[in-house]
Structure 1
Amino acid sequence: MTASLPAFAGRTFLFRVDNGAAFRNAYSADGKRLRWEGLGESAGQWEDVTLHVAEIGPQLYFVSWTEVSGITVSHVMDLARMTVRAFWTYEGEGGRVGELHTGTLEQVA
C-alpha cells in the first residue's frame, strides 16, 4: 500500500500564531521535511526538520517534529479552514513548559 502525499507537500505557508509570532513554513515535495523561518521578532531563526505526519481526516493533518534546541512542536493543520492548533514544549525554569496556540495559514507558494 502506497501512502499518498499530504496536501501540504511542496507548498509554502505563512503561519500566524495567536501570540503574535509568525513563520514561513516550506514543506518538501515529499511532505517529509519542513524548513521553518521565523518572521518579525523571530527573524533570522530557521531550521530544517524531519516531520512525523498522519492524515486524520480530509485535508486534516497531525504534524510533529523535534528541533535541535529540544523544542517539540505538534500541530493539527486544517487545510480546508486554513487554521492550525499547535502545542509546543521547551525547557523552562523549573522544568518542561508547554503552550497551546491557534493560528492561521496563508499559502504563499
Structure 2
Amino acid sequence: MTAPLPAFAGHTYLFQVDNGAAFRNTYSADGLRLRWDGLGESAGQWEDVELHVAQVAQDIYFVSWTEKSGITVSHVMDLAAMTVRAFWTYEGEGGRVGELHTGTLKAEA
C-alpha cells in the first residue's frame, strides 16, 4: 500500500521565518524531494534534499531532511493555517546548536 501524496507535492511556497530568513521551497511532484533557495541575506544558496515525510493530521505534515553541511531541519507544516514550526540543528562552537522558529507560508503560482 502506498502513502497518498502529501498536499504540498508539486507546489512552491515562500517560507518567511521569524528571524528574518526567507526561502523559496519547491517540492517535487512525488513529495519526496525539496529544492530550497535562500532569499535576502541567503540569496544564491540552495540545495536539493531528500525528504522524510509523515502526515500527522488533516493538512499537517512533519517534514525532515539533512543538508550536505550537516544541518538538520524539521518542519511541522500546517497547510490550512499556512504556518510552519521549524527546528534546525547545526555544528557550532562548543557542540551542536538547536534553534526553534516559527514562520509563514505563501503559495507561489
Shorter-chain TM range is over 0.9
Listed one character per residue, the Cα deviations across residues 43-89 of structure 1 (whole Å, up to 9, x for unaligned) are: 00000000000000000000000000000000100000000000000
Question: Which residue number corresponds to residue 98 of structure 2?
Answer: 98
Question: Which residue number corresponds to residue 5 of structure 2?
Answer: 5
Q: Does 1:46 align with 2:56?
A: no
Alignment of 1:24-103 (within 5 A): 24-103=24-103
Identity %: 83
The size of the alignment, in residue pairs, is 109
Give the root-mean-square deviation of aligned CA atoms. 0.4
- The one-letter amino acid of 2:44's match is G
Paired residue secondary structure (2:41): helix
Paired residue secondary structure (1:41): helix
Q: Give unpaired runs (5+ residues) of structure 1.
A: none
Paired residue secondary structure (1:7): coil
